[in-house]
Structure 1
Amino acid sequence: MSKKPLKKSIAIIGEGLTEWMYFDYIRRNRRYSFSLKPDLPKHSSYTYIFAKAEELCSKGFDVAFCVLDVDTILRENSLQEFRRSCGELPNKIIPITSYPCIEIWFLMHFMKTPQNRVYDSYEAIKKVLHTYLQGYEKTEGYFNTSGIFEKLEENNGLDTALKNSGAILTDLGREKDIFRSSFSEISLLIRHLDGCKNCNFQQDCKNCIRTLSTFF
């Protein structure tokens, strides 16, 4: 009797409430097989998140994606240290960054064309995002009552975001200064999860981590 193929164990570790609630929606809506760890993060520092990822991998997870905002890292003048930390990570731990924050990914759902523009803070993006998501704020109450994540996917919004993000990442990949435009690598994570879903999240799938190239 043949054994049932083992499933790949994937963890996504976010900085805070926004990341947790967004990926919880994505997991349910797109029927992805991954775990959100921890249930609700208490610390947003990348050192804590990397440590949590290493702990999960030591307990049997095949891969851990760390979803991080770059604005805090830049504000604390710790970019060089962050780069060094990323370079020391094992292949199983993948940093997925957004500059300045995850809200640029939300905004990409509404861009008619890719925009090579710098938003240097959450507040700068929030002003523009209010055009499409009235009253947007980083609170559990807003996320639970606004239907924000459903609104993001209206009118093929996710496909739009994937295309916009992909074009910006490709353009920045040709340049030495990746901070000449705001960007989000969440598109890479979504496409990776789609690939895993197509392979039914089989643990021995060869079409996996080694093909994923991120900025850090």
Structure 2
Amino acid sequence: MGTDNLFKKRQQKAQKQPTRATKNLSANKVLLIVCEGEKTEKNYFEALKHMFKVPSVQVVIDAGSGSAPNSVVKYAKEKLDKNPNVYDEIYCVFDKDKHAKFNNAHNTIKNIQESNKKSNKDIIFKGIVSDPCFEFWILLHFTKTTQQFGASGLSPCDEVQKHKKFLKDYKKDYDFTKIIESSLETAIKNANEVNALNESQSISPYTQVVYLVQRIKEIGKNND
């Protein structure tokens, strides 16, 4: 079943589903992943969902956001408000880098979570943050590093971008399928180790993308 068909069926059934508890009996969880205005994140998650055969994952780009975290969160909230009975889990994927409104985005997500809790809505609404940027997650497929990016005078994210030497013929519409197939478990291991250091020592870099990747893997296994 394709994503579009599943999405339309959820919309058609919305009036027949008075509670979220009823909808959660569905075998297929519908995940919405909202990314910044670049193709890298979308291409990666599209390759991942096809690998794990999870068509119920929708990946969209907030084309108007540029790289503004707050805009990504706002766009995701608008999607939720327009389709309150469609999505089970919503993830906002954005970079920390040096965004002035990063804390605003974080606080907005927290407010949405608290509002959902008070309204007894069991939908998951989370931010998936990488410090400094999503490309750090890509880098972890090849090597583990705790380098403090940005010390060279470049922006932290620009400094990570220099490591694209690992990606031969890299471009915005890059197909990540082979990298995921060969190196995903390496990336998960590296990310978990780096994140553990971040939690114990409060240092960057880190990436929460690993948690979303593991969630998609889990859903894929449950659908087998």
Class of the TM-score when normalised by the shorter of the 2 chains: 0.7 to 0.9
- Distance in 1 separating the partners of 2:55 and 2:209: 17
Match for residue 53 of structure 1 among 76, 81, 102: 76
Give the CA deviation at 1:157. 0.7
Could you tell me which of 146, 149, 160 is aligned with 1:125? Answer: 160
* Identity of matched residues, %: 21
- In structure 1, distance between residues paired with 2:190 and 2:127: 20
Quick check: 1:9–1:62 contact (8 Å CA) kept in 2? yes
Show the counterpart of 2:124. 92
**Where does residue 20 of structure 2 map in the other structure?**
none
For structure 1, the 5+ residue unaligned runs are 202-216
Query: Residue 160 of structure 1 aligns with which residue?
Result: 186
CA distance in structure 2 between the aligned counterparts of 1:79 and 1:68, rounded to whole angstroms: 9
Cα separation, 2, equivalents of 1:29 and 1:9: 17
2:177 maps to 1:150: yes
The residue type equivalent to 1:117 in the other structure is Q
Aligned to 1:212: none
**TM-score scaled by length of structure 2:** 0.71
Distance 1:35 1:108, change over 3 A: same
How far apart in 1 are the matches of 2:75 and 2:105? Answer: 16
Mapping of residues 67-86 of structure 1, within 5 Å: 67-71=93-97, 74=98, 76-86=99-109
1:116 has 2:146 as partner:
yes
Distance 1:78-1:53 versus aligned 2 partners, 3 A rule:
closer
Question: How far apart in 2 are the matches of 1:40 and 1:89?
Answer: 19
Cα distance in 1, alignment partners of residues 61 and 101 from structure 2: 27
1:194 match: 217
1:135 CA displacement:
4.4
For 1:122 and 1:80, locate their aligned partners in 2 and report how far apart those are by CA, in whole Å.
18
CA drift of 1:185 comes to: 1.1
Decide whether the 8 Å contact of 1:50 with 1:66 is kept in 2: yes
Alpha-carbon separation, structure 1, partners of 2:162 and 2:205: 15
SS of 2:93's equivalent in the other structure is strand
Tell me the equivalent position of 2:9: none
Which residue of 2 is the match for residue 41 of structure 1? 63
Q: In the aligned structure 2, how far is the partner of 1:62 from the partner of 1:101? A: 26
Number of residue pairs aligned between Structure 1 and Structure 2:
180
Change (3 A) 1:94 1:42: same
Runs of 4+ in 1 over 6 A off after TM superposition: none
Alpha-carbon separation, structure 2, partners of 1:78 and 1:192: 27
* Residue identity opposite 1:102 in structure 2: F
Q: Report the counterpart of residue 101 of structure 1 in structure 2.
A: 133
CA separation of 1:78 and 1:41: change in aligned 2, threshold 3 A? closer
